[in-house]
Amino acid sequence: MLFDMRKLDQLIQLWLDEDCNHYDLTAKIMVDDAARASFGLNAREDIILSGLPMVERVFRTLDPDCRFEASCRDGDRIAAGTTFATVTGHAQSLLTAERVALNLMQRMSGIAGLTADYVRAIEGTGAVLVDTRKTTPGLRMLEKYAVTCGGGRNHRLGLDNGIMLKDNHIAVAGSISAAVARAKAHAPILTKIEVECDRLEQVREALEAGADVIMLDNMSNDDMRAAVTWVAGRVPLECSGGVRLDTIRAKAETGVDIISVGRITQSAACVDIGLDEL
């Protein structure tokens, strides 16, 4: 996992505070203080699992001594009806943590499953599926982790992970050549520079300026094929814009190296996972 677990703990505390302000009124009334219980996490539809370590941490935040046992791992394909983990501990605490734990895993597993659909659609083409920064505020690292569970790769984790020169940056600088030159003069030595191009003549300028990666933004498949032929593997080419499950195969077959898809994090539906008493 490419994130600090300390930050995850901070997020979990925020989520629990949001859901349980002063106390869980229902659990306090209905469940004896000393009661213990065991629950199973059940897939109620076919899913690709994502979020197990996070869910365990949610339960342990309220019951540090609970026993959490998983029979599967993140990235596994789980059939409907499967109990893939159990948790045993202080009943009040587990019931209070239930909704936060399920919300998180349902969201992450939904992203993992949609990502897997896109990855499967481009099998054999050589193109790599990557995510974008189009993530839910506050959940970026978890959603990007979910993408990897579905077989995708991460693009920039944040604005400090690389330089991407988009149309507005280029307009301010005056040209692609000027923008790349300025970036190279000031960027950390190991930082890559990507240039967004929406016309073929820009691809030539970006390559000659020394871009490390070139994004083909909303280009037609014919133009992307032309760019692939002209660049001839000198730098990686990224396809971006208008990528859907029904269009991604044709885009991958143009020969691009990378395909970035915002939909895998923006449009994934939460899957159905339940917590049931054993």
pLDDT value, residue 2:
65
What is the DSSP track for 80-123?
A: TT-EEEEEEEEHHHHHHHHHHHHHHHHHHHHHHHHHHHHHHHTT
H or E segment and range at residue 273: strand 273-277
Domain definitions of the chain by residue range: 5-119+269-277, 124-266
Catalytic residue among 196, 238, 251, 257: 196
Give residue 171's pLDDT. 94
Report CA dihedral (12, 15, 18, 21) to the nearest 10 degrees: -30
Report pLDDT for 4. Answer: 82
Phi, psi torsion values for 255, nearest 5 degrees: 105, 5
The single residue of 134, 182, 204, 263 carrying the catalytic annotation is 134
The model's pLDDT over 101-157, given as tens digits with 9 standing for 90+, comes to 999 999 999 999 999 999 999 999 999 999 999 999 999 999 999 999 999 999 999
Choice among 166, 208, 244, 276 that is catalytic: 166
DSSP 121-165: HTTTS--EEE--S---TT-HHHHHHHHHHTT-B---SSTTS-EEE
Which DSSP string do the residues of 217-271 spell out, in sequence order? ES--HHHHHHHHHHHTTSS-EEEESS--TTTHHHHHTTT-SEEE-SHHHHSPPPP
Pairwise CA distance, residues 78 & 188, whole Å = 43
- pLDDT (0 to 100) of residue 5: 85
The CATH classification number of 124-266 equals: 3.20.20.70
Residue 180 burial class via C-beta count within 10 angstroms: exposed 0-12, middle 13-18, buried 19 and up: buried
196 is catalytic: yes
Burial 101-119 (b: 16+ CB within 10 A, else e): bbbbbbbbbbbbbbbbebb
Question: pTM for the full model?
Answer: 0.95
Catalytic residue among 24, 217, 238, 257: 217
pLDDT per residue rounded down to tens, the chain (278 residues) = 567 888 999 999 999 999 998 899 999 999 999 999 999 999 999 999 999 999 999 999 999 999 999 999 999 999 999 999 999 999 999 999 999 999 999 999 999 999 999 999 999 999 999 999 999 999 999 999 999 999 999 999 999 999 999 999 999 999 999 999 999 999 999 999 999 999 999 999 999 999 999 999 999 999 999 999 999 999 999 999 999 999 999 999 999 999 999 999 999 999 999 999 99
Q: State percent of the chain over pLDDT 90.
A: 96
Q: What token pair was written down for 24?
A: 């869980």
Residue 28 a catalytic site member: no
Q: What integer pLDDT is reported at residue 1 of this predicted model?
A: 59
| Cα–Cα distance, 155 to 113 (Å, whole number) | 18
77, 99, 225, 263: which is the annotated catalytic residue?
99
217 is catalytic: yes
User: CATH fold of 5-119+269-277, please?
Assistant: Aldehyde Oxidoreductase; domain 3 (3.90.1170)
